[in-house]
Structure 1
Amino acid sequence: MNYNIALSSFVYILIFIFPGVLFRKFYYIGPFTKQFNNGNLFERFIITLFLSVISLMTSGGIILFLRDVLNIPFLPSISYTTVFNVLNDLQDNKLPDPKIFTKTYKDFTILLMLLFSLSGILGAFSYMLVTTFKLDLYLNVFKFNDKWHYHVKGKNSNRIKEEKYLYTEVNVLTQDGNSEKTMYSGYLNDYTVDENNSIKSVILEEAHRYSYNDLNNSNQDRERPIRGSLMYIACESVMNINFTHIFLPKVKKTFKEKLIIFLKVIFALLYASTFILFWMDNVIYHFDQIWKKAIFIIFSILIEMIFYNALKDLLNNSKNKIQRSIIYFQCIVLCAGLVVFALDLLDFWWILAIEFLITLAFVQLITYLANKKAS
């Protein structure tokens, strides 16, 4: 009975807690990593549970869309009844029926992998959405719990909405036990905060020191460069800190640059869609073996990447005709090889060898013709 209780608890944690943990882990990245542990335990538990439910609903929506809209038999052994029976058995301290477990364990494993992967993707995508569109600057609900990030990076300035932030210059006035005041200045490299979200230290690049000495009843500051790459200043002896934000007017993106960004998004979705095919049955023609599916998908993604680079190269008006010719030829050869492999006309290793020899011969030929023309 104790074994069953432990098993049921483990399953519930995997389904209702771990996806939310992954969501939060991939959301609090970059300068906000420490926020992962912010808040009391009960608050973090509720938020984690809520995010797990969002990941579960999203995963369920994707599965229903693939089944009902696209008519793709994705995870055919998984249904509401199957999941309910398994959870009900665990709730009653019973192990699942061996027949059901043998039939569904593979699909359940794939389902958990999809759920965990989607949780991380949703967290990273949410972070990218908030930071890219600066939602944390306009809506307090999206504001990160790190006030110093907004102070030292000029996020609270109205200029950030119209200009591009470059860097921050820092002046730090310190005083030691002998009441001697010293000021340090430099470019901000990083900063640290404590558990109370108070600034703990600042790290400067190209630091300089200014000492104030009483010379002939007049204060004179002497600038002294400090050797070293970075300087760490603990805030225990700091009297005050001055931040100067340096901005640069934003340059509006051209239509071509916007089009390239649009292509990146489209091809990113295309890569993800191609990768999902690996987990689907009876979709890729006659591929009943996993290694054949894997090869087909790797070749497909490789062709998509080459095609994307070719389109980007075309939009950028690249003058390197040799490179463009090789890219287009690679795309054609890979497509032809993929068709031959899908129709099972040749063994994979023969296809790979033939494509390698054809591509090598083409590269040698076009390089020879280019050199001959140049001479």
Structure 2
Amino acid sequence: MNLSLGFITILFLIIFPGVIFRRLYFYGEFSKEFRSNYNLITLIAISSIPGVILLIITSLLYNSFDTINLDFIIDYFKEIKSNETKPDDDTIYPITLNEIFASKIAPFTGLLYSISIASGLVLGRAVRKSRIDTKFKLLRFRNYWFYLFNGHHTSFKKLKGIQPGSNKHLFTRADILIGTGSDSTLYSGIVVDYELKENDCSSLNKIMLQSARRYKTKFGRMLSKDIPGHLLIVDCENMSNINLTYVSEKRVGLLETKLPGIIPNIIGTTLILLIPLFIFEIEKIDWLLYEWYFDLPWYAMILSYLLVVEVLTLLNPFRETDDGYEWNGWVYYVIKVIAILFTSVLIYWLS
């Protein structure tokens, strides 16, 4: 099969980088979305979109520190193909093939594929870590079950209010009805993992349940039974419906953590460690302000240390009350700033 030079160029500069980007963008739980329900032609077509964008970005970036003329390189290879030999040195191409490859082609393609790999690795994870995909449907992955099983669907615009946003999701309990009619069986348990169908990332293949129970109707009575074992794998091929229950706990606020108590300790320790610097002059500290400090009278030196205390305590956004910790209000910061300015002016006047 004869491949044209144009097709080879598009293949290496657009399609391959686009395929690499998409393969790395869809990672982990979303890896099957890379080629779900896509034939080869469709996969190439949708990979061309990020491929073109990556080529443009690479060209702009590469041309910022070097120049590459793709038309010149393509014409060069056309000349080689038409003559079936390398152009002579006295032709319009004074540069050899090895020189073109080493100085232009290799650096440019290396940068192109590096950007493809880096952007694919970073962007997919950045979208998921920032959870921006729960805010904008355009960025949402097609693996809808990931959002449902992990409780991230509560950030969807149409599903807000199902579970209070201030609560922390612990786990999801699923009730799965397999089959229909009298042959149906209900399995219930905690969802620990799941598997999607190979060519359809929106359909469940299997669900792994922990602490599973089985419910079945016999002789008009609902019978339940604990299923022994650590993990039950439910085949979802004949799943009729699924009911999800979210177990959560109240999310601990920042004021209820240890941080409000740690910050004053850090500030206090820092102030203690700074005391020797205010008593003994360190010759290795060659700061004009530090040298000026030791020329001050003793009472101005004390005020200077108090000024440092005011500045460092300004960094503590919390205040302790009888009921715990609260955020410092704007009045606190205004008073602190006034005290710092007043102390600074007083030190300058006393000097």
When normalised by structure 2's length, the TM-score is 0.57
Deviation track 1:279-334 (CA, whole Å, cap 9, x = no partner) reads: xxxxxxxxxxxxxxxxxxxxxxxxxxxxxxxxxxx99x9xxxxxxxxxxxxxxxxx
Matched, 1:186 2:189: yes
SS in 2 for 1:173: strand
Tell me the distance in 1 between the aligned counterparts of 2:16 and 2:22.
10
Structure 1 position 134, deviation (Å): 1.8
Q: Which of 2, 7, 10 does residue 8 from structure 2 map onto?
A: 10
Structure 2 counterpart of 1:80, from 46, 56, 68: 68
Report the residue type matching 1:141 in the other structure: L
- The corresponding residue for 1:235 is 236
2:133 match: secondary structure: helix
Counterpart secondary structure, 1:87:
helix
Deviations 1:2-33 (A, max 9, x none): 87x46654343111110100110011111111
Q: Does 2:160 align with 1:154?
A: no
Partner of 1:49: 48
What's the counterpart of residue 124 of structure 1? 121
| SS at 1:198 equivalent | strand
Matched residues in 2 for 1:239 and 1:124: separation?
Answer: 37
Match of 2:227 among 211, 221, 225: 225
Q: Give the Cα separation in 1 of the matches to 2:50 and 2:127.
A: 16
Identify if the C-alpha distance between structure 1 residues 249 and 15 changes in structure 2 by more than 3 Å, giving closer, same or farther: farther
TM-score calculated relative to the size of structure 1: 0.54
What stretches of structure 1 of length at least 5 have no aligned partner?
68-75, 259-313, 318-375
Q: Shift in Å at residue 85 of structure 1?
A: 1.4
Structure 2 vs 1, CA of residues 46 and 238 (structure 1 numbering), >3 Å: closer, same or farther? closer
Can you list the C-alpha shifts for 1:149-201, whole angstroms capped at 9, x where unaligned?
33333332234854443321112233489x35432222212223334533233
Deviations 1:18-59 (A, max 9, x none): 010011001111111111113465554333112112212222
Query: Any stretches of 5+ residues in structure 2 without a counterpart?
Result: 90-94, 155-159, 260-265, 270-351
Cα distance 1:29–1:161, how it changes in 2: closer, same or farther (>3 A)?
farther
Aligned 8 A contact 1:169 1:245 in 2: yes
1:23-62 maps to which residues of 2 (within 5 A)? 23-38=21-36, 39=38, 43-62=42-61
State the Cα RMSD in Å: 3.5
Q: CA deviation at 1:96?
A: 6.3
**3-state DSSP class of the match of 1:80?**
coil
Where does residue 335 of structure 1 map in the other structure?
none
Aligned partner letter, 2:138: V
Task: Work out the CA distance in 1 between the residues paired with 2:184 and 2:21.
Answer: 47
Name the CA distance, whole Å, in 2 between partners of 1:102 and 1:252.
63
Q: Does 1:202 align with 2:199?
A: no
Distance in 2 separating the partners of 1:28 and 1:133? 15
In the other structure, the counterpart of 1:353 is none
CA distance in 2, matches of 1:253, 1:132: 20
Evaluate the alpha carbon distance shift between residue 8 and residue 244 of structure 1 in structure 2; reply closer, same or farther with a 3 A threshold: same
Q: Output the CA distance in 2 between the equivalents of 1:45 and 1:100.
A: 33
User: Are the equivalent residues in 1 in contact too, given 2:62–2:108 (CA < 8 A)?
Assistant: no
Instruction: Letter of the 1:101 partner, please give it.
Output: L
Pair 1:251–1:51, CA change in 2 (3 A): farther
Determine the structure 2 residue equivalent to 1:273: none
The structural deviation recorded for 1:250 is 4.0
Instruction: Give 1 or 2 for the bigger CA radius of gyration.
Output: 2
Which residue pairs with 1:103 in the alignment? Answer: 99
TM-superposed CA distance for 1:128, in Å, is: 1.9
Q: Does 1:19 align with 2:20?
A: no
**Contact 1:209 1:226 (8 Å CA) reproduced:** no
Q: Would you say the 8 A contact 1:8–1:90 is kept in 2?
A: no
Change beyond 3 A, Cα 1:205–1:16 = same
> What one-letter code is carried by the residue in structure 2 that aligns with 1:120?
I
Deviation at 1:122, TM superposition (A): 0.9
Letter of the structure 1 residue corresponding to residue 151 of structure 2 = G
AA in 2 matched with 1:123: G
Aligned residue for 1:134? 131
Whole-angstrom CA distance in 1 between matches of 2:22 and 2:238: 35
Superposition deviation, residue 208 in structure 1: 2.7
Deviates more, 1:96-105 or 1:179-188: 96-105
Distance 2:56 2:86 in 1: 24
Q: 1:131 to 1:187 in 2, by over 3 A?
A: same
8 Å Cα contact 1:165/1:247 also seen in 2: yes
Percent identity of the aligned residues?
A: 23
Code of the aligned partner of 1:167: F
Letter in 1 for 2:71: F
Separation in 1, partners of 2:9, 2:218 = 68
Q: Are 2:19 and 2:44, in contact at CA under 8 Å, matched by a contact in 1?
A: no
SS state at 2:153 partner: coil
> Between Structure 1 and Structure 2, how many residues are aligned?
240
Cα distance in structure 2, aligned partners of 1:34 and 1:118? 23
Letter in 2 for 1:148: W
Match of 2:169 in 1: 165
AA matched with 2:240: M
